[in-house]
Structure formats: C-alpha cells, structure tokens
Amino acid sequence: MPLEITQREVNGIYLLALKGRLVLGEESNGLRTTIDNLLESDAPRIVINLEHVNYVDSAGLGSLIEMHRKIKAKGGGIKLCNLGPNLKRALEIARLLPIFETCSSETAAVASF
C-alpha cells in the first residue's frame, strides 16, 4: 500500500498529512519528491502530521533526516506532529528525537512557527 500524502497550506505553512507505511521504496520516494517540490519555494515551513503512519523502517527514518537537513539548509523549518508511541519510540531508539521539533497537534505546530 503506497503512502498517502495529503498536502494543504495555511498562512504560508505547508501541512503534509501522511497515511500508511513510511518504508524503503515507493513510499519514501514519494515523500522525498513532495518535499523537493516544496523546497522550490524560499525558506519553506513544513509540518508533517504522522498520526496515521502505522509503521516506519530505517529508510523512513532516513527520509525524515534527509528532509530535515534539506529544509534547514534552505533556511526553512520542519515540525513533526501527532507522533504515535511506536514512531516516537523508533526516533528515541535511533537517538533522533532531539533533532526534530515535535508538537502534539497540527494546530500547535502551526502556532509554533
């Protein structure tokens, strides 16, 4: 099942809601393409809603790291929101949680920009 990505924009902030599995292959490639397209704008501000991501593998974590690096290099910002306990635990185990700014909801993430 491919990763579904719903994109919308609120006050110049791009909200990406993900649904499915963030894994090696088509899923993570689709997310990379979406982020690359958003990076064409200056200093993008992006919120990634992970509420409906039910599984992530090391390639999925790698995609998140790559997105973070690219967005920061452009002077933008990225926030993760609605992390489920499994995804939060995966980020903790990989010692990646301190890298990302996380919020409890999309509303909180948008307000924090």
CATH number of the domain at 4-111, please?
3.30.750.24
pLDDT at res. 1: 64
Between the CA of residue 62 and those of 7, 8, 58, 111, 113, what are the distances in Å?
21, 24, 6, 27, 24
Instruction: List Cβ neighbours of 108 (8 Å cut-off, separation of 6 or more).
Output: 81
Instruction: List Cβ neighbours of 106 (8 Å cut-off, separation of 6 or more).
Output: 15, 47, 49, 81, 82
pLDDT at res. 76: 92
Instruction: List Cβ neighbours of 85 (8 Å cut-off, separation of 6 or more).
Output: none
Structure tokens at 105: 């909801």
Sequence ranges of the domains in the chain: 4-111
Phi, then psi, of 106 in degrees rounded to 5: -60, -40
pLDDT at res. 29: 81
pLDDT at res. 24: 84
User: Along the 113 residues of the chain, how does pLDDT read in single tens digits?
Assistant: 678 999 999 989 999 999 999 888 877 788 888 888 888 877 789 999 999 998 888 888 988 999 999 999 999 999 999 998 888 998 999 899 899 999 999 999 999 99
Q: Is the dihedral of CA 102, 104, 107, 112 positive or negative?
A: negative
**pTM for this model (two decimals):** 0.90
